[in-house]
A and B are shown apart, each in its own frame.
Chain A
Amino acid sequence: MQLTASTLTAVPVVTAAESDPEASALPILPYLPELIFGLVAFGILYWVVAKFVVPNLEKAYAERTAAIEGGMQQAEKAQQEAEAALREYKAQLADARDEAARIREEAKEQGASIIAEMRQQAQAEANRITETATKQIEAERQQAMVSLRSDVGRLSTDLASRIVGESLDDQARQSGIVDRFLAELEAGNVRAEVVGSEPAGSEGQGH
């Protein structure tokens, strides 16, 4: 019962002051010292509030507003950046797809051209081999012809010498009768049916 006790402690004070004119004055008449004291008290507290409290609080408010606005701007900026990054990424992706398609296309073309080229090369190689073979055959034929010519010549002269009975070997060779005969034969000047008489004739001319 502190409530009761503390109210009661005031009672003796009241009792002691009962002789003052203020004790019996109308309660709506101000006691002047209290009025003045009230003005002074308000003045002091007002000075404290206006000088220290309100400026600090308003400063904190302004900073808070700035911080919130700053945060919102920052968030907006981040959002924009993210959107820009997404756009860029999408663009890059599209580019990459195009690039891939292009590369595939190129590869296809390249593959086709490589095959064609290879085919061509193979063809060329085949041709070359064929040609070489032909040339070789030709050369061998020439060679065979030359050796055959000399063989035929020798055999002919041998035969002729045997027939004629004298050795025409050296003489014949020296005079080039055989060669000339063969050349004529090649050139088609000597007919096949006169082969049997011509050599005799030519030999006869030669002699």
Chain B
Amino acid sequence: MSPTAAMLLPMAEGESHFPPDPSLFWQPLVKFGSIELFGSEMTLAITRPMVVMALTVGLLSWWLIATTRKAAVVPSKGQAGTEAVYNFVRNGIARDMIGSRDFLPFVPFLFTMFVLILFNNWMGIIPPVQMPTMGRIGFPIALTLLVYIVYHWIGVRKHGFVGYFQFMLPSGLPGWIKPAILVLEMLTFFVTRPLTLALRLFGNMFAGHLLLVVFIIGGWELFLQGGLLSIVSLPAWIMAFAMTVFEALVQFLQAYVFVLLAASYIGGALVDEH
């Protein structure tokens, strides 16, 4: 590594950060020391994803209130933009998945979920933030927890506690197979659904961010090698650009899939009978 490179890339101990590892996602900004929790040490800190999350909540609140405060029959440009997103969630997701009879009470929940996830995902490619909040599993788990509570709660409210478990069983099954199916269905309702919901979002954001880092930092590392390798950094960066565009699509898609599945679970719990 040349002295110029060391100046350009301020690496504290002169060690390489390529290839990137998961520790990349641990970015505490302010630390308050550490505590002992469940027998293991935990650092108390305000992390970068937290700040990004707070920023998105603030911006979204401001934007949504500003564009809908004087919501009119003939919408302004801002209102039309917000309405397009709102329509997408309201009619394209909530009404289609839950049904036009009961969907309206869940629209605020699903809309909040969608805009929050989408904006946080896009924060993974928006400079200068470039931190996909959902790449930290705590956030997908928090959102999944809410979806989990909501669909079980409304399921129990509609069918009753025992009725909810009976409802999980498809009707018309022979008696001897019922216990096995009930176990499978309970596994689906209580384990598979939340696990996949959280991990899908987390995995996509985590891997997508690593991929971008690989191409960008990798390109940088190649550039610093000098000679022929410096030229190779150009295709690496072109690839980084292409992957960024691709990521934008994936980030939108993951927000959409998350909310679509949440709506589908809610709709499923509200179905009258199998």
Contacts and interface: CB of A to CB of B under 8 A. Distances in A.
A48 B72 contact: no
Contact of A4 (B13, B17, B216): B216
Nearest to B46: A33
Interface in B14-70: 17, 22-29, 34, 37, 40-45, 47-50, 53-54, 56-57, 60-61, 64-65, 68-69
Contact of A30 (B9, B17, B60, B141): B141
A92 B48 CA distance: 83
A186 interface: no
B142 interface: yes
Interface of A: 1-4, 6-18, 20-39, 41-42, 44-46, 48-50, 52-54, 56-60, 63-64, 67
B143 interface: yes
B191 to A, nearest CB: 15
Nearest to A13: B27
B169 interface: no
Given A7-B216, A41-B54, A20 B28 contact: yes
Contacts, number: 194
A85 to B, nearest CB: 31
A43 B244 CA distance: 30
Given A4-B219, A33-B44, A45-B57, A56 B23 contact: no
A37 B68 contact: no
Given A33-B47, A38-B139, A39-B142, A45 B216 contact: no
A15 B139 contact: no
Interface stretch (B130-138, B181-189, B266-274): B130-138
A30 B201 CA distance: 14
A100 to B, nearest CB: 53
